[in-house]
A = this chain, B = another copy of it.
Amino acid sequence: MYNSANVAERQSQAPSLAISTVIFALRTDPSSGASEIWLPLVRRIRQPHLGKWALPGGPLGARESLQDAAARNLRETTALDPTYLEQLYAFGGLDRSATQRLVSIVYWALVRPDQADLARDSENVRWFRASEAVGLAFDHDEIVAYALERLRGKVTYGSVAYHFLGDRFTLAQLRGVYEAVLGKHLDPANFRRQLRSAQDIAATDEVLQGGRNRPPRLYRYTGP
């Protein structure tokens, strides 16, 4: 059957390939001062799932790499450059889309938003708290959950947390990232001890002035 199919049939049988990107940014709650994870979603402007919110994405260009396509998704959605971008997973279940067989290679990214840009929602792009990004189009609920899992893993294990922050940061800010991602309180003293033994972080000779309390020292990420 496969061999005898003509070109048109083969065309309709070949699964379509798309690239999508889960974009995470950190936002500080104005009232509590705690950090939270946010992500931008785009509104579907065609069937299926018209009107629902979905991950930014689209077809893979003929002359762009997978990662370039993900970065393009990101620029077109947020007008920001990623500070971290990594492949998440390829989703290819048979029932992902009712209208066609669709394989999505999904990336996840961290961006460092100016607060202004994060607020600049448009008609078809809106930022959501990660915990409130549910009821999305296709299987994007699962994809977001999986991306959050990966984020948690990378934060506990490694060196991703820095990419949420600017080039100078206090240990309290960094701890805020950990707490937002892992969803639990961390002892400040123990956190400090652990990060002193981390290789890719260095103290600067500056401190952050203007706070209410003792001015904290600023640190710098020296890794890749």
Contacts and interface: CB of A to CB of B under 8 A. Distances in A.
Interface of A: 2-4, 7-8, 10-17, 59-66, 87, 89-90, 92-94, 101, 103, 105
Contacts of A2: 7, 61
Nearest to A92: B66
A92 B13 CA distance: 21
Given A2-B7, A66-B90, 11 more contacts: A4-B7, A14-B16, A14-B59, A14-B62, A15-B17, A15-B62, A17-B17, A60-B92, A87-B89, A90-B105, A105-B105
A4 B66 CA distance: 23
| Nearest 4 interchain pairs by C-beta | A66-B92, A13-B62, A90-B90, A90-B105
A215 B48 CA distance: 63
B7 A94 contact: no
Interface centre among A10, A59, A87, A90 (most CB of B within 10 A): A90
Contact of A66 (B11, B13, B103): B103
A201 B10 CA distance: 48
A10 B11 CA distance: 9
A93 B90 CA distance: 15
Contacts of A101: 62
A159 to B, nearest CB: 16
A59 B103 CA distance: 13
A22 to B, nearest CB: 15
A139 B3 CA distance: 28
A90 to B, nearest CB: 5
A61 B14 CA distance: 8
A93 B64 CA distance: 8
Contacts of A87: 89-90
Contacts of A14: 14, 16-17, 59, 62
Interface centre among A13, A17, A94 (most CB of B within 10 A): A17
Nearest to A11: B7
